[in-house]
Structure 1
Amino acid sequence: MANIQIRRYQGEDAESVKEVFTLGMSEHVPSSFVHILKQPLTQMVLMVTFCALMTSSKSFLLPILAVTLLLAGARQMVVYMFNSYIDTSLRRDLDDIGEAYLKQKDSCFWVAESDGRVVGTVACLPAEKAPGCLELKRMSVRRSHRGLGIAKALCRTVAEFTRDRGYAAVVLYTSVVQTDAQRLYEHMGYQKIREFVIPELVAKIMNFTLFEYRLDLQPGGERD
């Protein structure tokens, strides 16, 4: 990783971190839209709408227009869900990273820097639902710097921090549409231990599943 430095977050990194996070999350809108199109409920609604209007109107134009509007509405629903999550995150922990991650000894926030530019982020803090574990959060790498081993280095940074603090494991959550992230974590030795659907109505309609992963910090438990 030439010219890449993993270091602790500093106050002047705030806007760059928010940008990396926002861009990274926004990338998942297209794959999430494809995900919702694959759902049986979506396909049934589109088919029933098309057939009903085709039968009643005897015209191709009206059913095609109606299906187009439904697809546009579905995409806007996906955009709304991601924008809501981004806005909530920017108002909460990412609004004051120092307060959220740097005041306690068992939490931290790191950035990956390349030629003076923040190109990746990761954080960890004690997991609320997994006593004795730290939770990996806010993992993101700029598209322009992927494939350079930055994400793996950030994962190792969290694992080393967790081990040094005496915790037994690292846990994290990722979504069904984040397939690259799933491959990365599994390559790093994480095991998928649970699947669940987000309780919000929009997520339920989309069947938007989250995966919980766990990395037990034992000799040989982490891969390079």
Structure 2
Amino acid sequence: MANIQIRKYREDDAEAVKEIFTMGMSEHVPSSFMHLLKQPITQMVLMIVFCALMTSSKSFLLPILAVTLCLAGARQFVVHVFNKYIDTSLKKDLNSISETYLNQKDSNFWVAESDGQVVATVACLPAVEAPGCLELKRMSVCRSHRRLGIAKALCQTTADFTRERGYAAVILYTSLVQTDAQKLYEDMGFEKIREFAVPEFPAKILNFTLLEYRLDLQKDRKRD
């Protein structure tokens, strides 16, 4: 954590925040693609395509080319899903961080700065689906500054902010493929309370599952 400062977001951080978020989300494309390939329906479609063309063409080349094209198309589909989510997020709140977080009650947006460069972000605001809780959002750390304790410090900053305002807990949502994030949250004392499928059609095709985690601050208070 040497030379790392956690501070409130400023307007001149806007481009750095967007870049960190975009790069962080794009990193999940490979693991999401592998998750798609492990789905039974994906494997069944690839097998049907291969066997059908193998039977009709009597050649290995055409089935292999067809399966290769199917895999390339599947990866582009995953890229499209993530790009759409990134674009939606940028339009929804990351283009108006001050209005969404800083100007609202019990909300905030922080950045971690290293040698004058923004290297990580996190935010929180009242949880819509969990009254009495704040929701941790937009946690992302530059690849070059991971494993330095920055993410844990940002989680703790959010927890302290939540406790100071009298909320019972911090909740957050992460995806099944974000295994490093899951480990981080569990190390910080968050408990996984449910899993659920994303209702949007593209996510259903991916069998994309979200996990809800909760950090109960009342338990922390009792231990103190």
TM-score class, shorter = over 0.9
Provide the C-alpha distance between the structure 2 equivalents of 1:168 and 1:71, rounded to a whole number of angstroms: 46
- TM-score, length-normalised on structure 1? 0.97
- Please name the residue that 1:71 is paired with: 71
- Please name the residue that 2:2 is paired with: 2
Pairing 1:23-42 to 2, within 5 Å after superposition = 23-42=23-42
- Aligned letter for 1:19? E
Pairing 1:13-28 to 2, within 5 Å after superposition = 13-28=13-28
Provide the C-alpha distance between the structure 1 equivalents of 2:181 and 2:27, rounded to a whole number of angstroms: 13
Shift of 1:219: 4.8
- Aligned letter for 2:140? S
Provide the C-alpha distance between the structure 2 equivalents of 1:54 and 1:103, rounded to a whole number of angstroms: 62
- Aligned letter for 1:104? Q
Q: What are the Cα deviations for residues 63-82 of structure 1, in whole angstroms up to 9, with x where unaligned?
A: 11110111011101100000
Shift of 1:105: 2.9
- Please name the residue that 2:11 is paired with: 11
- Please name the residue that 1:95 is paired with: 95
Pairing 1:89-168 to 2, within 5 Å after superposition = 89-168=89-168
Q: What are the Cα deviations for residues 20-72 of structure 1, in whole angstroms up to 9, with x where unaligned?
A: 00000000001100110111111111111101110111011111111011101
- TM-score, length-normalised on structure 2? 0.97
Provide the C-alpha distance between the structure 1 equivalents of 2:76 and 2:117, rounded to a whole number of angstroms: 32
Q: What are the Cα deviations for residues 90-129 of structure 1, in whole angstroms up to 9, with x where unaligned?
A: 1110001000000123000000000000000000000000
Dislocated runs of 4+, deviation >2 Å? 218-221
Provide the C-alpha distance between the structure 1 equivalents of 2:206 and 2:82, rounded to a whole number of angstroms: 13
**Is 1:171 aligned to residue 167 of structure 2?**
no
Which consecutive unaligned segments of at least 5 residues does structure 2 have? none
Provide the C-alpha distance between the structure 1 equivalents of 2:154 and 2:108, rounded to a whole number of angstroms: 12
Shift of 1:220: 3.6
Identity %: 77
Provide the C-alpha distance between the structure 1 equivalents of 2:51 and 2:201, rounded to a whole number of angstroms: 27
- Please name the residue that 1:83 is paired with: 83
The residue matched to 2:218 in structure 1 has which SS? coil
The residue matched to 1:136 in structure 2 has which SS? strand
